[in-house]
Amino acid sequence: MAGMILKSDVEKVRATADLYDIVSSTVTLKAAGTGTFMGLCPFHDEKTPSFSVRPSLGVWHCFGCGLGGDVFAYVEHRENIDFREAVELLADKYHIELHYEKGDGTEEEHRGSKRARLLEANEEAQRFFVSQIMTSEALAARKLLGGRNFSQADCQRFGCGYAPQGWDNLVRHLANKGFTQQEMLDAGLARQGQRGIYDYFRGRATWPIRDSTGRTLGFGARKLYDDDAINAKYINTPDTQLYRKTQVLYGIDLAKSSIVKKRQAVIVEGYTDVMACHLAGIDTAVATCGTAFGEEHAKIIRRLISDDSLGAVQLVGPLKVEGQSLSSRIVFTFDGDAAGQKAAIHAFGLDSAFLSQTFVAVADNNLDPCDLRIQQGNEAVRSLIDHAKPLYDFVIDTAINRFDTSYTTGQMGAVKAVAPLIAQIRDRSLLDIYTRKATRRIGVDLDIMRREVNNARRQLHVRDDDAYAPKRRIGGFENHNRNNENTYANPAARKALQHRDAADQAYFRVDDAVFICEQQFMAVLIQVPRAVDVNAFARLTLADFMTPVFRTLFQAIAAAGGLPDGNTPQGLWLHNLTKAGGPMLEQVINELAVMPLPLPNGDDQNGNANEANGAGAAIGQNGGGVNGNADGMPNPTAAQLRSPTQEEQRYAAELTARLLDVGYMRRIGAAKRKMAQLPDGEEKIRILGQITDMEADRKDLQAQVYGNAIA
């Protein structure tokens, strides 16, 4: 087997991979100033964004769950793979050839990561299925699709294909393309039989099930022939390393951008329903694949549809969307029959904030979107979605409508039927409202309805929730600099942000001048190491730091080789520092790397920083190097550490000077205490000389930094 990937190739992938592009493929990111983007964490369920990304530094961190790291760590967590497979996956994405150290096995050529190979197998299977759709054998598939009013161009758009009836057509095709039998089995494309492997999909129309980036993870297939050995009308790829039915939505690759733009999502029940909706102009339609819509699906939609425009205020309920006639919403197209009612009630199990934006659309004649389009045209499909009702109203009204409430017995029957439904509304803000609405509709006393609802609530052990309550933002680095104003030029704003940085971090809870100075220095050092003067940094010692975590981090910087030179790649600098710091300091380094500084966004500056003056000139300069990013857009981690701006150099010089100054103070104080304990003599005179020299050096430093001598 091949050995380890060459380090130079790892760094090439790190420098090429676009962290913003990779994260934003599954997470809606919003600019939050200083080159930072915020979104809902993909690794834990949250309703208020605490997931921070700094593309220019190639680092991300979640202040909610504590996960963070570089682009490789993100792919490892998202895809549930190891470091090597993450490098190989990104290398495949960016078409980078990897080289390996010579291994001790017999395999001479590495064939790529297992996950990458499974993706390739699925893509090849999709090409095979599409190539079969126009064959004579596929007539039944073409008749099925044509009968649903789908043209050949429509089928091509949605990737419709055909799996031949033979025993091993796909298996033989994939074998000719170099795929092993184990890879076919692991991808869910084949099954193991007594006489070898055979095609899983046979004699069926097929649809590719892709992720939001367009990668084929699996397939859905519809039965065409009565003699099919599998009785199920629809089958899907079994759960594999790539495919989890609870975590995929058919059509998400086509609908993603529209969902983000319109803050709407339409959930339908089948592949042809997705096709019909998109062709009718409902370009936010997706479908579950062989399972009911659940919490994992809700997370996918929430990350795309989330609105955090008011900062820490949690926005729930249908919201107005600029440029759109409809408010933000998630629309389910349930059938009007008993199964549809059951599915609607099942949706009650989703979280309250999600349900507050959930609507239900049911056609008058219980047609699904595909049949509705066939019988009444595209306008009918659009009208169906436009006139959707809130989920709670739909379920409650449907239950009440079963009874003739003009009679007392009918009223009580409606109360008994609807009370358990209202009782399942976890949100306290909505429970009373819907209790009153149902009471008015049925025509009974409010006390009667409340008694039944409360009894049902106790029996069902419903947990209270408040979807409308403000959620505390963990991390707090939200849009502090929305207009990218120069907080460095405003001392009050700078101090406010410094104190916020100290209060919002999760690794050391203290807010004082010493901690703030050390925290800000370490953040500058990690984010813009070239802003720190080499000579001034060399004068710092462990005694200049008091906060335990920063004393330890200072030692980790030394273990990593000290300040990096100008040719060190940005990603490699953070990697080396994190490696030297170990697991204990990993979260600290990640948080400091994404922490906003009270400075203009250096990532948006053009060209090299000019020579600084004032305080920066007093301590020394560290210029030269590569240009900063000129276009202000997220881009891959720079090949080299960028040059600091004038403000960054000045700020770093001020922080370094403060650390040196307080270090002098501590040493002078210790020397004076020692001198006070000594009798008169040569030792006391020697220490007095040291104190005099340190006081002179401290006074010179203060004069250089602040422009005047401090008496």
Question: DSSP string covering 131-161, please?
Answer: HHTTSGGGHHHHHHHHHTT--HHHHHHHT-E
- Give the C-alpha separation, 533 to 523, whole Å: 15
Question: Is 367 a residue whose pLDDT tops 70?
Answer: yes
Tens-place pLDDT, residues 312-333: 334 455 666 666 666 678 899 8
Would you tell me how many other CB atoms lie within 10 Å of the CB of residue 560? 18
pLDDT tens column, 429-482: 788 999 999 999 999 999 999 999 999 988 888 877 665 555 444 344 444 444
Residue pLDDT, tens place only, 136-182 = 999 999 999 999 999 999 999 999 999 999 899 999 999 999 999 99
Average pLDDT, the chain: 81
Does the global pTM surpass 0.75? no
| Lowest mean pLDDT across 68-77, 102-111, 254-263 | 102-111
Look at residue 405 in the predicted model and tell me its pLDDT: 93
Q: What are the φ/ψ torsions at residue 653 (nearest 5 degrees)?
A: -65, -40
> How would residue 614 be classed by pLDDT, with cut points 50, 70 and 90?
very low
Please determine, for residue 337, whether its predicted confidence score (pLDDT) is greater than 90.
no
Angle at the Cα of 20 from the Cα atoms of 574 and 608, rounded to 5 degrees: 60
Task: Give me the pLDDT at residue 204, please.
Answer: 96
**Mean pLDDT to the nearest integer, 545-569:** 89
Between these two residues, 190 and 501, which has the higher pLDDT value? 190
Helices (H), 159-231: 169-176, 181-186
Q: Does the pLDDT at position 262 exceed 60?
A: yes
* Structural element, H or E, at residue 304: helix 295-305
Distance, CA of 78 to CA of 44 (rounded, Å)? 11
Indicate the pLDDT class of residue 624, thresholds 50, 70 and 90.
very low
Q: What is the band of 263 on the pLDDT scale with cuts at 50, 70, 90?
A: confident
Tens-place pLDDT, residues 207-223: 999 988 888 999 999 99
Which residue type sits at 206?
Answer: T
Cα 57 to Cα 590: distance, rounded to the nearest angstrom: 10
Percent pLDDT > 70 in the chain is 79
Place 701 in a pLDDT band, splitting at 50, 70 and 90: confident
- Give just the sign of the alpha carbon dihedral 565, 570, 576, 578: positive
Q: Where are the beta strands (DSSP E) in 154-307?
A: 161-163, 190-193, 196-199, 204-210, 216-223, 234-236, 264-268, 285-287
Neighbours of 459 (CB within 10 A): 10
- How confident is the model at residue 507, as a pLDDT? 61
Mode of pairing for the β-strands spanning 264-268 and 234-236: unpaired
CA atoms within 13 A on the CB side of 378: 10
Confidence of residue 53 (pLDDT cuts 50, 70, 90): very high
Helix (H) or strand (E) holding 390: strand 389-390
Residues 6+ apart with CB under 8 A from 304: 28, 256, 259, 260, 265
